[in-house]
Amino acid sequence: MTSTWPSLTFAEGKDTLHAVHMWTQVVGKIRLALTPLVNHWWNSTLRVTPRGLSTSLIRSGDDGFQIDFDFVAHELVIVTSRDGRSARPLRPMSVADFYRGTLDDLAQLGVPDPGIVPVPVEVAPAVPFLEDVEVRPYDREYMRRVHTALLRAHFVFERFRADFLGKASPVQFFWGGFDLAAARFSGRRGPAYAGGSAPNVPIHVMHEAYSHELIAAGFWFGNEDAPQPEFFSYAMPPPAGVADAAIRPAQAKWVAARGEFILPYEELLRATDPDGDLLAFLQSTYDAAADLGGWDRTLLEERPTCDCDPVPAARRRVSKRR
């Protein structure tokens, strides 16, 4: 069977991935600098769109703007509420050129300098944007496949999200780690965070991220230490016995050094039902961590079963009177 998920290998696309990772950090830092802090840094993330990734609406004075990575037309597009628009081609270039070009486009559209800290996070070494002058490749076909994989993963994660009544994050793209992720929360505060921190990340960032008990899952494209795309799932704090839990599908496994379950992306490409296998991975790892962690699942979970009109009758009556 030919998989509807695209083929992705880290070795093939690693240089393009690094470039786009740094570009998303520039754009993500702009969003972070200009939006109010939301719990667990949710205000800083990017969102998957039909064409790529977006900041969604950002305030600038009394106006608004939005920055989009368009991986269909391969452009960085900025639009404003005053009918301004710029489109800069995504092409081989340095991080320094991307950084300067993005700030120039904002200035020409009337958006003041956001004043970001121009140094990447969650990577080592952290080369300041203006000092990162190496011209890096941009493989259009590879990024088209990356976007397709993000879309497919987003659809499955959204379906998984629908069964949860408690506090849960949106499905969102974290530009620090360059991964798509979503989290569910038990409703209880977590213990003081005592784990390690990602490279070049202040510890207060981790304290905020893990201030409450959660079970998170995500999708990332790999790095030099783990050179393959993977789905992952973990609990914070990890409940006793979770490493020995039975999970699905059979190709998924526990990685002790990372404290999380993983499902290699390549396994989905060989699956008869890749969406079903991914959903089984999300559900079974959540089941294991929630049960072992003593979550109140009766309170937190419910699958809507009504097949009725999604527009309530009262609203339909109001509409008729207008």
CA angle 213-47-133, nearest 5°?
105
DSSP 13-72: HHHHHHHHHHHHHHHHHHHHHHS---GGGGGG-BEE-SSEEE---EEETTEEEEEEEETT
Residue 36 has pLDDT above 90, yes or no: yes
For residue 255, give the 3-state DSSP assignment. strand
Encoding tokens for residue 292?
């072992």
Task: Work out the end-to-end distance of the chain between its first and last CA atoms, rounded to an integer number of angstroms.
Answer: 53
Query: Which helix (H) or strand (E) element contains residue 120?
Result: none
pTM: 0.92
Phi first, then psi, for residue 248 (nearest 5°) are -125, 155
Q: What is the pLDDT of residue 4?
A: 86
Q: What is the pLDDT of residue 303?
A: 72
Q: 310 pLDDT band (50/70/90 cuts)?
A: low
Q: Give the separation between CA 189 and CA 317, rounded to whole angstroms.
A: 43
C-beta neighbour count of 238 within 10 angstroms? 16
Q: What is the pLDDT of residue 316?
A: 42
Please state the rounded mean pLDDT for residues 5-10.
Answer: 96
Residue 135 has pLDDT above 80, yes or no: yes
User: In this predicted model, what pLDDT tens digit does every residue of 223-248 receive, in sequence order?
Assistant: 999 999 999 999 999 999 999 999 99
User: In this predicted model, what pLDDT tens digit does every residue of 241-286 receive, in sequence order?
Assistant: 999 999 999 999 999 999 999 999 999 999 999 999 999 999 999 9
Given 3-state DSSP classes, what are the helix, strand and coil percentages for the chain, each rounded to the nearest 5? 35, 20, 40
Encoding tokens for residue 62?
């009394």
Q: What is the pLDDT of residue 197?
A: 74
Contact 46, 175 (CB under 8 A): yes
User: In this predicted model, what pLDDT tens digit does every residue of 74-127 receive, in sequence order?
Assistant: 999 999 999 999 999 999 999 999 999 999 999 999 999 999 999 999 999 999
Q: 308 pLDDT band (50/70/90 cuts)?
A: low
Q: What is the pLDDT of residue 307?
A: 65
Q: What is the DSSP letter of 201?
A: -
Q: Give the separation between CA 158 and CA 310, rounded to whole angstroms.
A: 18
CA angle 5-261-224, nearest 5°?
70
Q: Give the separation between CA 22 and CA 132, rounded to whole angstroms.
A: 10
Q: 305 pLDDT band (50/70/90 cuts)?
A: confident
Q: What is the pLDDT of residue 293?
A: 98
Which residue is it, tokens 């991986």?
A: 71
Domain boundaries, given as residue ranges, for the chain: 10-131, 140-300
Phi first, then psi, for residue 291 (nearest 5°) are -65, -45
Encoding tokens for residue 195?
């784990």
Q: 3 pLDDT band (50/70/90 cuts)?
A: low
User: In this predicted model, what pLDDT tens digit does every residue of 174-229 receive, in sequence order?
Assistant: 999 999 999 999 999 999 888 777 899 999 999 999 999 999 999 999 999 999 99
C-alpha radius of gyration, the chain, whole number: 21
User: In this predicted model, what pLDDT tens digit does every residue of 142-168 receive, in sequence order?
Assistant: 999 999 999 999 999 999 999 899 999
